[in-house]
Structures are given as structure tokens and as C-alpha cells.
Structure 1
Amino acid sequence: MANIVLISGSPSKNSKTASITNQLQKELIERNHRTSLIDVRELPAEDLLYGNFNSKAITHTHELIRHADAVIVLSPVYKGSYTGILKAFLDLLPEKIFAGKVIAPVVTGGTIAHLLSIEYALKPIFSIMGAKEILHGVFILDTNIQRNEKGDVFLDRELEERVESLLKAIERKEPTI
């Protein structure tokens, strides 16, 4: 059983990225992992905007990440990069907080051109933050995400297989320092 933190960088409660986050957390719990969700949009806006490193809400997220074996970072892509709210949050994390953890990016985007945001926007910041084990990640095209009236997420078979592959990779990895 691993301790896995999900960081959702979606500014919208009802976004496709938020739905994917909830689905992944549910799947991890069903696999008997301990999970914590850092929903960045729920953190105090003043702490994010003014860089309040000493905020109780922010320091609590540091503790969640420090005790994690793996971190899944999820974000929609806007203008070729992850969200500003996620950037504000990442700026408040200690520089080497991802050291010894498996990091898995999951990105949603409106066009296949946003696929490169994983390689050129997220992975470099994860590396700066001490990550040595950054998984390939999953890019999900918005049009491939379907939801029913209850908000349940349905992905096509190929995407389901990529998400399953990502979860198995997280489960196989042992954190290294």
C-alpha cells in the first residue's frame, strides 16, 4: 500500500480535469492505497497570490507531500502550459520536496498540440523540485472524456489502458532518494 498525493491544478470544480482527479483517487482507494487530495483551487487565494509560505493551509500541503510515496499532478492546459493556479502553488513548495518520490503528470487539453506541455512545462519544474523518477505521464484530449449525469468519467479504451499503465507504474516504483 502506497501513500499517494493527487494535486489538482484545475481552477474549476466541475472541469474534466477535476473529474479525472476524482476518478483516479477513487481507483487508488479501491486498490487499497492511502490517498490525499490537494485541490489547489480550495487553498486560500490570498496565500497563493501573496506567496504566504507560512500559511497553515500551505504548510499542511507540504506535510502531505513529504509523507507521500508518489505524487500525481493533474492540470488542464491553457495556452500551452499548466494553469496559473498550479504555478502559484508549486512556487510555494520547498525546492526539493519531490526528491525520493515517484511523480506522475496527467494533463487534459483541447488539442493534441498541448501534449508537449508535459515534456516542456511540467517535467522541468518537477526536476527542479528534486524529482528523479518522473513517469511518462498521460495526456487526455478533452473530446475523449465523457461524463454521465452523475459526473462519472468514461474514457475510451486506449486512454483507459494508458491510465491503467500509469497506475501500475506507480505501484511498481519504489521511491528513491
Structure 2
Amino acid sequence: MKLATIYGSPTPPGKLARALGLIEDDVRTRYPTWSVDRVAPTNSVGPVVATWDEDAVERIGDADAVVISSPVFRGSITGTLKLLIDMLPNEALRSKPVGILTVAAAPHHFLSAERHLRDVLAWFGALAAPNAAFFVDKTFGAEHVADDVVEELREFADQVVVLAEQLKGRGFGPDPLTVRYSKKSQG
């Protein structure tokens, strides 16, 4: 099975990438039948936006589960991540377990990006994992990441992997509104 992780930041890898890397390493170690594919932007257009390779959509669509990660930027996800989401067809996330990982500079941002992503994931008909992972960026600034943080990331990864293994690609209906209305307009 395959886990696609999305690094939704336009900036070079830092604290968010470290958190995502801990999840990826954990899945590779504890779930040897799983492969992990990090999808990351490639061309930075500045400190706010970066672009994605042409194969990003296909790589996400081919995955059995997805972890979306984003720094909290102005109370939401980054424009870079929004660009990728706008490129995805409905089928890329439909009935697929998706975990949400966010990192912010302050604890009072703990629900902002998650809330926005949950709304977008509902539009796709994705299966948002019940518990998101949120951390303040200084959590990953020290040389050693605290054991309780590593355990929380492990539990976060478990829910996404276990959901995917239990579902085994099963689809769920009814179709999301976007699919129903696009079918009506075509028919």
C-alpha cells in the first residue's frame, strides 16, 4: 500500500518537514508493506508561493492514504497547498483516508488551517482522519524531539494507515455535491 505525504510549504524544509519526516520514517519502520512518497513543491516563486511538478496529482491519486501538512499562514493553509488542491480531480481524494498535520508559530492557531482543510476534504468526499496533528513550531526546533511528541505522531500515522488497511479501497456514497451537480449538468 502507498502513503502520499504532502509538504504544503513554499519555503525550504524546516520544522514542518521534520514533523512530516518523523511520520514517514515511522510508517516505513512499522508498516513494511507500505511505501511512502513525499509530494513537495519544486519551484519557489518567492517566500509565499511555489509550484508543483506535473506528476503531483497522479502520485496523490495513486496513494491509498494521504497526509496533508501545512504551516499555518495567516490563519489558514498556504497558497502553495491551495494551488495543489485546486489541481486535484475529485477522484484523487474520494473515499481516501486523509490525515491533517499543521504547524504554527502560536498555539491559538490550532484549529484554523485544520478547519479549512476539513471543509475542502468534505468537498472531495475524502475520509478525513478523526484526529489531526497540530504542533507549535518550536516543538521541532530542538535537536531532540520529545518522546510524547513522537508518540503523538505515531498515533496520528496509525489512524491513517489503519483506516486505509481496513477500507481496502472501498468507496462510500452518496457522491459529494460537486460530483452530483456536475453529473446533472452533463446529463
Q: Bin the TM-score by the shorter chain.
A: 0.7 to 0.9
**25-34 or 84-93: bigger deviation:** 25-34
Kindly state the Cα deviation for residue 43 of structure 1 after the two structures are TM-superposed: 5.3
Deviations 1:90-130 (A, max 9, x none): 11111342112110000000111111124421111111122
Partner in structure 1 of residue 155 of structure 2 = 165
Partner in structure 2 of residue 151 of structure 1 = none
Partner in structure 1 of residue 60 of structure 2 = 65
Partner in structure 1 of residue 133 of structure 2 = 138
| Change over 3 Å in CA distance of 1:26–1:160 after alignment to 2 | closer
Tell me, yes or no, if structure 1 residue 112 matches structure 2 residue 113.
no
Return the alpha-carbon distance in structure 2 between the equivalents of residues 128 and 10 of structure 1.
22
Kindly state the Cα deviation for residue 158 of structure 1 after the two structures are TM-superposed: 3.0
Kindly state the Cα deviation for residue 78 of structure 1 after the two structures are TM-superposed: 1.0
Kindly state the Cα deviation for residue 28 of structure 1 after the two structures are TM-superposed: 1.8
* Aligned partners of 1:77 and 1:83 also within 8 Å: yes
Deviations 1:34-91 (A, max 9, x none): 0111002x1586xxx8x9xxx9x33x22221222111000110011111111111111
1:1-177 matches, cutoff 5 A: 2-31=1-30, 32=32, 33-40=34-41, 42=42, 57-58=53-54, 60-148=55-143, 154-173=144-163, 174-175=166-167, 176-177=170-171
Return the alpha-carbon distance in structure 2 between the equivalents of residues 77 and 44 of structure 1.
18
What is the root-mean-square deviation of aligned Cα atoms in Å? 2.2
The normalised TM-score by structure 2 is 0.76
Return the alpha-carbon distance in structure 2 between the equivalents of residues 108 and 29 of structure 1.
22
Alignment partner of 1:139: what SS?
Answer: strand
Unaligned runs of 5+ in 2: 172-187
Return the alpha-carbon distance in structure 2 between the equivalents of residues 120 and 67 of structure 1.
25
Deviations 1:112-166 (A, max 9, x none): 1111124421111111122034331100111222343xxxxx4323322221111
Return the alpha-carbon distance in structure 1 between the equivalents of residues 161 and 36 of structure 2.
13
